């Protein structure tokens, strides 16, 4: 495919002909649903899941453009992503602003329950930060046999008043339990409020990067181990970005989804392949080689190294002359290929070794055919 044809296809690329004014994501909805349905069909994750947001860079005019200060791309389209701790994306939703089916009061709870709807009642452990966690959400998930662990906003509705007023020294931990929900406050460099329906107030030792042994609540340790799935996905996508600045927003989401699919394939291949692990660069090259058509085989040019040579094959026979036997050597002759096609039998001492079958040619016919 030529570059110009590719650019024409890219310019005309669209995914839905329907114009739904109520659904701001109608232009990309088929791609979003297809990705989520395929991942739900072909792969079921392990116990630990992480839920976090990501941003697809977009600085143009868009009703639901967002600003997130702690992300690599601060302005853009916000994605809510459910992933495994290794970065495999299981499901994602796009924030469509006011009027979306998950907007309004309890927005974060609606997002969490929407992303987890196929994974509830299965004993999964979900790790989330303080943007999502609350006591009410923890109770709802626990009733659906799903555990949650993560940090907790100190101003969240339903937080126990006792933990808000308690003063701790560094390393101390204070915990409260209610209806199977554990809410704790731990003092590190600053106060950390956390919530868990899976881990109790046990303190565990952990070694940091410098080799120092630290004592932390088990909920915090597990949160640090399993929460980074979405960040790992963003890191993988940052190695080979393909979105252009002048692309429409729904096309940018499409290519971002395509990149996530490729990243998922890479992670799942290394996870389940019986062969040795492969680098991301090599994996992408192999995908390209499989997608590109094989180059057509060109016919052999007639003018390349066709040389008329004398036939080297000889045969011998014995001839008796009186009491003596004489050996006679005879050169094997071949029939001229061109003359035979003209229905004219001509024997020749010459052949062409470059042609298939090494046919014989008389001198005149050889130059007529090969020149």
Q: How big is the CA angle at 287 (ends 283 and 290), to the nearest 5 degrees?
A: 140
Whether the per-residue pLDDT at 295 is higher than 80: the answer is no
Are the C-beta atoms of 161 and 176 separated by less than 8 Å?
no
Tokens of 330: 């005879």
| Residue 2 confidence (pLDDT) | 80
pLDDT tier for residue 302 given thresholds of 50, 70 and 90: very low
Closest CA to 252 of 95, 82, 27: 27
* pLDDT single digits (tens) 100-130: 777 777 888 999 999 999 999 999 999 999 9
Query: CA distances (Å), 24 to each of 31, 66, 79, 251, in order?
Result: 14, 15, 14, 14
Looking at every residue in the chain, the average pLDDT score rounds to 86
Q: Between residues 335 and 300, which one has the greater pLDDT?
A: 335
* pLDDT single digits (tens) 1-18: 788 888 888 888 888 876
* pLDDT single digits (tens) 147-174: 999 999 988 888 888 888 888 888 888 9
Give the residue extent of every domain in the chain: 23-290, 308-370
Tokens of 277: 């692990």
Q: Where are the beta strands (DSSP E) in the chain?
A: 48-57, 65-67, 75-84, 89-94, 125-128, 147-151, 173-178, 181-187, 191-196, 203-207, 213-217, 308-310, 314-321, 324-331, 334-335, 347-348, 350-352
Sign of the CA dihedral with 53 first, then 59, 60, and 62 last: positive
Through-space distance between the first and last CA atoms of the chain, rounded to whole angstroms: 35
Q: What is the mean pLDDT of residues 166-184?
A: 89
């Amino acid at each position: 495919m030529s570059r110009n044809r590719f650019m024409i296809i890219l310019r005309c690329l669209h995914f839905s002909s329907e114009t739904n004014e109520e659904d701001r994501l109608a232009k990309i909805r088929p791609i979003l649903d297809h990705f989520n349905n395929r991942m739900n069909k072909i792969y079921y994750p392990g116990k630990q899941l992480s839920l976090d947001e990501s941003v697809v860079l977009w600085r143009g005019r868009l009703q639901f453009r967002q600003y997130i200060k702690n992300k690599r791309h601060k302005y853009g389209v916000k994605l809510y992503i459910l992933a495994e701790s290794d970065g495999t994306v299981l499901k994602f939703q796009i924030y469509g602003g006011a009027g979306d089916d998950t907007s309004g009061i309890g927005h974060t709870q609606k997002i969490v329950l929407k992303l987890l709807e196929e994974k509830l009642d299965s004993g999964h452990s979900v790790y989330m930060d303080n943007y999502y966690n609350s006591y009410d959400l923890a109770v709802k998930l626990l009733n659906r046999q799903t555990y949650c662990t993560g940090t907790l906003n100190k101003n969240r509705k339903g937080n126990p008043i006792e933990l808000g007023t308690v003063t701790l020294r560094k390393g101390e931990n204070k915990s409260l339990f209610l209806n199977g929900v554990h809410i704790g406050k731990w003092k590190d460099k600053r106060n950390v409020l956390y919530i868990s329906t899976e881990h109790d107030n046990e303190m565990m030792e952990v070694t940091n990067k410098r080799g120092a042994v630290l004592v932390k609540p088990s909920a915090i340790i597990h949160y640090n181990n399993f929460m980074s799935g979405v960040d790992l996905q963003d890191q993988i996508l940052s190695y080979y970005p393909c979105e252009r600045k002048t692309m429409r927003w729904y096309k940018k989401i499409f290519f971002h989804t395509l990149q996530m699919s490729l990243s998922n394939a890479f992670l799942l291949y290394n996870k389940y392949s019986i062969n040795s692990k492969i680098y991301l660069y090599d994996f992408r090259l192999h995908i390209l080689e499989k997608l590109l058509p094989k180059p057509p085989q060109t016919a052999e040019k007639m003018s390349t190294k066709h040389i008329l040579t004398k036939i080297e094959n000889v045969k011998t026979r014995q001839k008796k002359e009186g009491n003596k036997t004489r050996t006679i050597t005879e050169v094997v002759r071949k029939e001229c290929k061109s003359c035979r096609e003209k229905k004219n039998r001509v024997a020749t001492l010459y052949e062409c070794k470059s042609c298939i079958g090494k046919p014989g040619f008389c001198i005149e016919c050889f130059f007529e055919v090969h020149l």
